[in-house]
Structure 1
Amino acid sequence: MKHLQSALANWEGSSRKLDWSCSLIVASLVGAFGSSFLYGYNLSVVNAPAPYIKAFYNESWERRHGHPTDPDTLTLLWSVTVSIFAIGGLVGTLIVKLIGRVLGRKYTLLVNNGFAISAALLMACSLQAGTFEMLIVGRFIMGVDGGIALSALPMYLSEISPKEIRGSLGQVTAIFICVGVFTGQVLGLPELLGKESTWPYLFGVIAVPAVVQLVSLPFLPESPRYLLLEKHDQVAAEQAFRTFLGKEDVSRELEEVLAERRVQRNVRLVSVLELLMSPFVRWQVGTVVITMACYQLCGLNAIWFYTNSIFGKAGIPPEKIPYITLSTGGIEILAAVFSGLVIERLGRRPLLIGGFGLMTLFFGILTATLTLQDHAPWVPYLSIVCILAIIASFCSGPGGIPFILTGEFFQQSQRPAAFIVAGTVNWLSNFAVGLLFPFIQKSLDTYCFLVFAAICLTGAVYFYFVLPETKNRTYAEISQAFAKRNKAFPPEEKIDLAVTDDKMIGKPEPDSSTLDSYVKNGVV
């Protein structure tokens, strides 16, 4: 009975500690709805109206030149329309540090809505204007929006959340990417906007989340870490902590950031080159690069390529395949929500390693079932199960954790440059998959999945041996976990280690009231 009472007391204490404030929930939902949701939506929205968009390109070309476009030119135009989104994303990633330094996290997200709204207007009006270039330029601008959003949003969520729920809050980014993909699939159905007369409205919808974020986010505070460490505004930072944490006593959180400010008092924001050359974060940078590369190169795009043909082989009528495909979007959302619920219990490391490990297993099985799918009537159904299992494995860990780790690995002065590195790898890998996958598929056919299985296995092995657990750890503690592998201790880690040694030999610690008074006076 005593053990039960103790367990209940511990559970109640942890529940109180993990309470989410209303402001924290609103900030995560509004921030993700106007950012990562749009990224996911633009990944899937071009699939359903593709035949109508190609017909529009052909009509516009014939109107200008007096003859239809040849098939090769039409294929090139469509490829540019799809792939230019990744090029815009790379541009957005490269400029986010410059914008963020001047505007901060919150106002970067707000200004980014201007890109989304202008892109929505261009693409929605392209058919009426009879100018297909407007659609291509709009896709590029949406890519810029996505590049900025996937850097600024994880930084903002990472900096406003207490470390106890930092993983769950960060997973909101991945959940809304999945919701965006699913929304694009639903609105693209013929009964809704996936018709020849209404496909431009699919792109006009983009303006809705942007406007919602534009009118909601100004009522929420800026990142308290940004206010204190970069703007040196302790009063505003303290008020932001109170708003996001939903409590008056924020001395512990303020003390943690003040300790970081004391170390970084004379440290400016580092450049990308300085980050890459720094011996103190060598393994952090390498881990982020490998994580983001595996995120894009793990083969999920190949799964979308084969989905319709596999469903057809299973005997599903062609007119019903778009509706069955919605199940993949639903699986994505459920797996991402599951990951958000368990990430603070299981940790980042098991979800990431387990996700890539399961993807390796199911890619191997899928290769066998696709090779043998004509040998038995039940084999295509096993292929469908493998597809859903691969999607669930990806979204339960690898689909969202890379963005969380990028925010957790680095100190405030290094974080913008780290997100530029992560975003550059992300978008270049995205572009490489779109460029190379048709050739891989043509040469290897169904055996192309073995390439992706090898990539997933490589990622799982690397994370098993290198990745430390970051759950419920401060930024300084995560940095210390990498210090031994880096064989270099930054100055702040030496200070932390010295403090730890003092505690170990029994030196007295200041009582809480004294510490609170120090914090109020800006002294730690």
Structure 2
Amino acid sequence: MAGGGFVDGVPAGRAEMYEYRITPYFIFACIVAASGGSLFGYDLGVSGGVTSMDDFLKEFFPKVFRRKHAHLLETDYCKYDDQLLTLFTSSLYYAALVSTFGASVVTRTKGRRASILVGGASFFVGGIINAFAKNIAMLIIGRIFLGFGIGFGNQAVPLYLSEMAPAKIRGAVNQLFQLTTCLGILVANFINYGTAHIHPHGWRISVGLACLPATLMFVGGLFLPETPNSLVEQGKLDLGRKVLEKVRGTSNVDAEFADLVDASEAARAIKHPFRNLLQRKNRPQLIIGAIALPAFQQLTGMNSILFYAPVFFQSLGFNTNASLYSSTITNGALVLAALISMGLVDRFGRRAFYIEAGIEMFMEMVAVGITLGIYFGDSKTLPKSVGYFLVIMICLFVLAYGRSWGPLGWLVPSELFPLETRSAGQSIVVCVNMIFTALIAQCFLVALCHLKFGIFLLFAGLIMVMTTFVFFFLPETKQVPIEEIIFLWRDHWFWKNYITEEDVKAHTGGDKQQA
């Protein structure tokens, strides 16, 4: 089949011959797999609330508790500056970045479903340990098991959703992961709001309820089909075709199945996928998908707000209940943003969302930084009107992030890698993401203490750099079949320097020539 041009914005190969219908089987598989995002979201939401609860602080971090309620001479920015407390949050992400390499092996050799099951089981164990923790060591061990669960889940779920989805709706389907993440955060905030009134063990209920999404993910995973891509990669061609037909709702899958077989043949020739990622022809997806986008997702400063929203609002002068309530509002905005993104990302594209939201987030971070610089710090009383303005700015920031850098930070990397390096590439994505997540979790409070309002101006500058990078270097992947992404690199003004026609022919089995 001649190819290499574009049909309706899609690289012309066999793509125009793909057929699909939305079937109940497909919907079930995507919803169950996407529940893995609730693990990540629940922990993001619950940890900030728990670390602001007096009962938790009194039992494990009495020094922070005393500082919180004392009128010290130090600036209010520093009330929660305690590295052991932030280690409680960040230890999970250190564990996740280590476990993702083991998840890569499981995902490639045993399938995406196997990693989803391991992730659910590990997260369940972590929730139990934290709920019954008697000392800081038990807290950290529990967080490590939670981290293993997130490492496996975040490695497998975005891949699973992207591989199961037809190209034309892949953006919306993949963002089910972001939606369940946001719902997990929101649910965690409501739970924290309720358990904050249960003394002295309300925080144990909060962390223990992490077992619920883990159970749903594990039990649902027992009934999940493996993705056709993974089955073909494992050499199970007949089963792979049967699943593809069932997922697509049609027996006319010859074109798409042929692309999977071509990609699988290239994948089986790769004995060392991590080493293969370093080859010149894989430079675009390595730099953009595995390094830049997952790092940028964290450097927006959004996770600082997610981790420490209750702590942050308390530092601004809100009481415990008001701070939890304010952070619940911001996380409700995150859910709304995810729904907006799901509905529009396959229409307007990834680049438009990245660039528009990046400009908006820059302005909102500058507004927050300047406002704090004028009105907050050194035991000043924050005027209520200014507090409300800050909450509004943060909500607008969350809305922008939640429809762009948040979901697209998982969607776009999952689209960029060819089958032969996909599991390895996704492991690098998760690893880089977790490295920067852990660094933000560990360093935000101490940075807030020392840089004060300047930390928000720093994030604003980083957001402008990221948006500029996307403008120049990220091609549009909207509605492009995953196995034909290579045409985008070949036709890009910069990345074409790394892709040869021989690379294209080797990837496509030699049947897609330049138009």
Q: For 1:200-279, what aligned pairs fall within 5 Å after superposition?
A: 200-228=204-232, 230-262=233-265, 264=266, 266-276=268-278, 278-279=279-280
Name 1:286's counterpart in structure 2. 287
CA contact under 8 A between 1:372 and 1:379: conserved in structure 2? Answer: no
Name 2:396's counterpart in structure 1. 389
TM-score relative to the length of structure 1: 0.82
Quote how far apart the aligned CAs of 1:406 are. Answer: 1.5
Name 2:338's counterpart in structure 1. 336
Pair 1:23–1:491, CA change in 2 (3 A): farther
Name 1:370's counterpart in structure 2. 372
Name 1:39's counterpart in structure 2. 40
Secondary structure at the counterpart of residue 46 of structure 1: helix
**Residue 98 of structure 1, aligned match among 100, 105, 124:** 105
Quote how far apart the aligned CAs of 1:490 are. Answer: 6.2
Give the distance between the partners of 1:131 and 1:139, measured in 2 at CA.
13
Give the distance between the partners of 1:151 and 1:310, measured in 2 at CA.
30
Name 1:164's counterpart in structure 2. 168
CA contact under 8 A between 2:294 and 2:409: conserved in structure 1? Answer: yes
Residue type at the aligned position of 2:58: A
Residue type at the aligned position of 1:43: L
Name 1:56's counterpart in structure 2. 59
Q: For 1:54-453, what aligned pairs fall within 5 Å after superposition?
A: 54-57=57-60, 75-126=82-133, 130-190=134-194, 195-228=199-232, 230-262=233-265, 264=266, 266-276=268-278, 278-288=279-289, 289-303=291-305, 319-373=321-375, 378-453=385-460
CA contact under 8 A between 1:158 and 1:407: conserved in structure 2? Answer: yes
Give the distance between the partners of 2:312 and 2:57, measured in 1 at CA.
25
Name 1:517's counterpart in structure 2. none
Quote how far apart the aligned CAs of 1:377 are. Answer: 6.7
Pair 1:464–1:283, CA change in 2 (3 A): same
Give the distance between the partners of 2:201 and 2:318, measured in 1 at CA.
27
Residue type at the aligned position of 1:253: E
CA contact under 8 A between 2:267 and 2:421: conserved in structure 1? Answer: no
Give the distance between the partners of 2:426 and 2:442, measured in 1 at CA.
24
Task: Tell which deviates more after alignment, 488-497 or 213-222.
Answer: 488-497
Count of aligned pairs between the two proteins: 469
Residue type at the aligned position of 1:187: I
CA contact under 8 A between 1:224 and 1:241: conserved in structure 2? Answer: yes
Residue type at the aligned position of 2:286: V
Residue type at the aligned position of 2:102: I
| Alpha-carbon RMSD | 3.0
Pair 1:205–1:164, CA change in 2 (3 A): same
Residue type at the aligned position of 1:245: R
Secondary structure at the counterpart of residue 473 of structure 1: coil
Residue type at the aligned position of 1:247: T
Quote how far apart the aligned CAs of 1:43 are. Answer: 1.6
CA contact under 8 A between 1:112 and 1:145: conserved in structure 2? Answer: yes
Task: Tell which deviates more after alignment, 107-116 or 317-326.
Answer: 317-326
Give the distance between the partners of 2:285 and 2:257, measured in 1 at CA.
26
Render the CA deviation track for 1:455-474: whole Å, top value 9, x for unaligned: 11111101101110101112
Name 1:29's counterpart in structure 2. 31
Pair 1:317–1:48, CA change in 2 (3 A): closer
Give the number of the structure whose alpha-carbon radius of gyration is greater.
1
Give the distance between the partners of 1:439 and 1:259, measured in 2 at CA.
51
Secondary structure at the counterpart of residue 419 of structure 2: coil
Secondary structure at the counterpart of residue 270 of structure 2: coil
CA contact under 8 A between 1:187 and 1:194: conserved in structure 2? Answer: no
Give the distance between the partners of 1:474 and 1:314, measured in 2 at CA.
47
Quote how far apart the aligned CAs of 1:183 are. Answer: 1.1
Unpaired runs of 5+ residues, structure 1, are: 1-13, 60-71, 505-524
Name 2:462's counterpart in structure 1. 455
Name 1:66's counterpart in structure 2. none
CA contact under 8 A between 2:231 and 2:240: conserved in structure 1? Answer: yes
Residue type at the aligned position of 1:341: G
Unpaired runs of 5+ residues, structure 2, are: 1-15, 63-78, 377-381
User: Which fold has the larger relative contact order, with Cα–Cα distance below 8 Å and residues 6 or more apart in sequence?
Assistant: 2
Give the distance between the partners of 2:303 and 2:292, measured in 1 at CA.
18
Quote how far apart the aligned CAs of 1:327 are. Answer: 0.7
CA contact under 8 A between 1:158 and 1:166: conserved in structure 2? Answer: yes
CA contact under 8 A between 1:88 and 1:140: conserved in structure 2? Answer: yes
